[in-house]
Amino acid sequence: GDSVTQTEGQVALSEEDFLTIHCNYSASGYPALFWYVQYPGEGPQFLFRASRDKEKGSSRGFEATYDKGTTSFHLRKASVQESDSAVYYCALGNTGNYKYVFGAGTRLKVIA
């Protein structure tokens, strides 16, 4: 079945550091890929989506590029802020089964 793997369970950075959170997927067909962010005490919020190879999604300074060749959708941000501290989820949506598959999540802590 479809699956999403987030390599890092936790990431700790200082403000203005560069962020990379790795996301790799396994799916049949041509899935859409998503990033969601979850702040403490809240539900996940949609960050952005990409639905075709080489498409870049971006929002709030975060970006990721759909790479079908390496089956990846890594999240990057050039300069993180303390307010970016949250849990980030990579997700896959497949038209074949009308639902999402979420990764296990990566907890980002940014120290001022």
For residue 86, give every residue at least 6 positions away whose Cβ sits within 8 Å of its Cβ, in sequence order, or none.
Answer: 37, 38, 39, 40, 107, 108
Q: Is 32 in the site for another protein (CB under 8 A)?
A: yes
Closer of 31 and 80 to another protein (Cβ): 31
Q: Which is nearer to another protein, 19 or 34 (CB)?
A: 34
| Minimum CB distance to another protein, residue 28 (Å) | 12
DSSP H or E segment with residue 93: strand 86-94
Q: Is 73 in the site for another protein (CB under 8 A)?
A: no
Residue 57, classed as helix, strand or coil, is: strand
As a whole number of angstroms, the distance between CA 42 and CA 37 comes to 10
| Chain positions contacting another protein, by CB under 8 A | 9, 31-32, 34, 41-46, 49, 51, 89, 92-100, 102-105
